[in-house]
Amino acid sequence: MPPREPEQDRSEHDARVNPRTGMFKLGDVQWDNLIKRYVWDDDTTPYLVPVTRLTQRQAGFELTAYAIFLGFLFGVAAVITLSPQAPGGRSMGMSLYSLSVLCAAVVLGMTRHYGAALFCSTAPAGMLLWIYVFAGHPGLSPVDDLVIIVFAALWVRYGLRINAIARRYEAMPAGEPPARARRGWGRRR
């Protein structure tokens, strides 16, 4: 493909910009490609691919995403539980537990170690323990309790998947990098 002339690029740019607002026209963005690429992609977001069919590359993406989620959540919890203004007051025990889950999440994200995954799977129980025992929220409605318990149950279920991935990680096939680098907003040139 011959290189484009700068004036040709400029005319294409002008055709895609709304003259009134100066912004790109919404019709030019290919939303299906964006969703496939950033929300649902079997290579980088393989959350519904069975563990037995995952490659190390896919498992690495999933373990890293989980480690970032868990690390951020329990990093914030470690700081909040140190504060005397926290619900239930200052709790050194929950702060140390949150810090240990944060460390386990870092180890899981960097080494894919099964022991770190096992320790990270205690996080939903730790969250429930803090909410119902240490923070003591008597003002929660039954609907709030139900939402929290359903969230914790789903988290436990996903933790079992993370444990299975970490257990099988070394035995998984390596996986291939994508054929071409992805650029732009879903447009193919």
Give which of 131, 168, 185, 132 is closest to 56, Cα–Cα. Answer: 168
pTM of this structure = 0.70
Cβ neighbours for 125, distance < 8 A, ≥ 6 positions apart = 152
Q: What digits encode the pLDDT tens for the residues 157-171?
A: 999 999 999 999 998
Q: What digits encode the pLDDT tens for the residues 112-135?
A: 999 999 999 999 888 888 777 766
pLDDT of residue 73: 92
Pick 144 or 45 by higher pLDDT. 144
